C-alpha cells in the first residue's frame, strides 16, 4: 500500500513540477529586486552560477533567459531569496520596529551630571 501511495505522490509531484515550470520564473525586474534586497552583487551571483556578470545583467533586463542547468540553479537562488525577501518587504537593513521596541522612549538629550 505504501508503494502505491509513493507512486501516486510521485505522479502528483511530476504534475506540479510541469504545471509550475512556465510561470515559476520571476519577471526580470523581480530577479533584480530579489538580488538587491539580499545585498548581493551581480558579480557574486555570476560567480556562484559560473557565468559572466553581463549574463546576470541580461537575465535581469529580460534580454535573455537562462538555459539548463543554470536555469535550475538560478531559479533555486531566486526562490530562496523570495522566501527571505517577499515582495513589499523592503530592502535589507530596513528593520520595522517591534511593538516592544517602539514603546521604549529615548530621551532627546541625556541629563548632565552635576559638577
Over residues 65-97, the pLDDT tens digits come to 999 899 989 999 999 999 999 987 654 433 333
Q: How confident is the model at residue 109 (pLDDT cuts 50, 70, 90)?
A: very low
d(CA 103, CA 63): 49
User: Is the Cα dihedral 66, 70, 76, 82 positive or negative?
Assistant: negative
For residue 97, what is the DSSP state?
P
Cell of 39: 545585498
User: Can you give the pTM of this predicted structure?
Assistant: 0.59
The answer, yes or no, to whether residue 101 has pLDDT greater than 60, is no
- Mean pLDDT to the nearest integer, 16-41: 84
Give the architecture-level CATH label for domain 24-86.
Orthogonal Bundle (1.10)
The answer, yes or no, to whether residue 99 has pLDDT greater than 50, is no
For residue 63, what is the DSSP state?
S
Burial 38-52 (b: 16+ CB within 10 A, else e): bebebeebbeebebe
d(CA 13, CA 16): 5
Q: Tell me the per-residue pLDDT of 29-69, one tens digit each, with 9 for 90 and over.
A: 999 999 999 999 999 999 999 999 999 999 999 999 999 89
| N-to-C CA span, the chain | 85
Amino acid at each position: 500500500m505504501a508503494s502505491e501511495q509513493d507512486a501516486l505522490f510521485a505522479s502528483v509531484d511530476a504534475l506540479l513540477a510541469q504545471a509550475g515550470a512556465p510561470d515559476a520564473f520571476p519577471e526580470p525586474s523581480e530577479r533584480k529586486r530579489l538580488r538587491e534586497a539580499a545585498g548581493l552583487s551581480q558579480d557574486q551571483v555570476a560567480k556562484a552560477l559560473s557565468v559572466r556578470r553581463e549574463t546576470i545583467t541580461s537575465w535581469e533586463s529580460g534580454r535573455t533567459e537562462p538555459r539548463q542547468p543554470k536555469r535550475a540553479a538560478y531559479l533555486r537562488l531566486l526562490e530562496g531569496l523570495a522566501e527571505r525577501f517577499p515582495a513589499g518587504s523592503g530592502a535589507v537593513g530596513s528593520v520595522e520596529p517591534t511593538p516592544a521596541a517602539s514603546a521604549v522612549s529615548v530621551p532627546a538629550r541625556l541629563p548632565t551630571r552635576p559638577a
